[in-house]
Amino acid sequence: MNSRSLASLALGGLVVLGTAGCAAITHQATTIQYSPADGVNIPVGDDSPVEILNTLIVANEDGTDGNLVAAFVNKTDEPVTVTLSWNGGGAEVDVPADETLSLGGEDDPVLLEGIDTPAGATLPIAFSTGGEPVQAEVQVFDEELGYLEGLAPSE
């Protein structure tokens, strides 16, 4: 084998290693968890008895009040109360044992009075199941999106 062929093989090997090596050090986007819908999943932690999924708020026209739309999944055989608190307001959601509570779907949404947050903004809400509260920025919508029609607080 002549030196020109050997140099071509060596260069080809370096190109293959160089391009394949990028995949070894680049973070894979498919491993990043995210909320694939309009609502946000609340990261309540692995030890929490409740998962809070697809959380969003549908506000009335002036943004003074809103309805919380979410799914609360109780992973235990005991009922759990989730406490919500926001800029001066608060509410509780009772989640039956071993069930999914679908607010705005099968079950009525929870009224959040005095949020004073217009559509397009976010409202910081603290979620607690008895331990350390978890703070999350929850997106506020209005009924412009067809599938949210009828979910805003009524007069």
> pLDDT tens for residues 139-154?
999 998 888 999 999 8
Please indicate, yes or no, whether the overall pTM of this predicted structure exceeds 0.85. Answer: no
Task: Say if 15 falls within a structural domain.
Answer: no
Task: Say if 129 falls within a structural domain.
Answer: yes
The pLDDT confidence band at residue 34, using thresholds 50, 70 and 90, is low
CATH of the domain at 60: 2.60.40.3770
Task: Say if 33 falls within a structural domain.
Answer: no
In sequence order, what are the residues at sequence separation of 6 or more whose Cβ sits closer than 8 angstroms to the Cβ of residue 124?
A: 86, 87, 135, 136, 137, 138
Number of structural domains (the chain) is 1
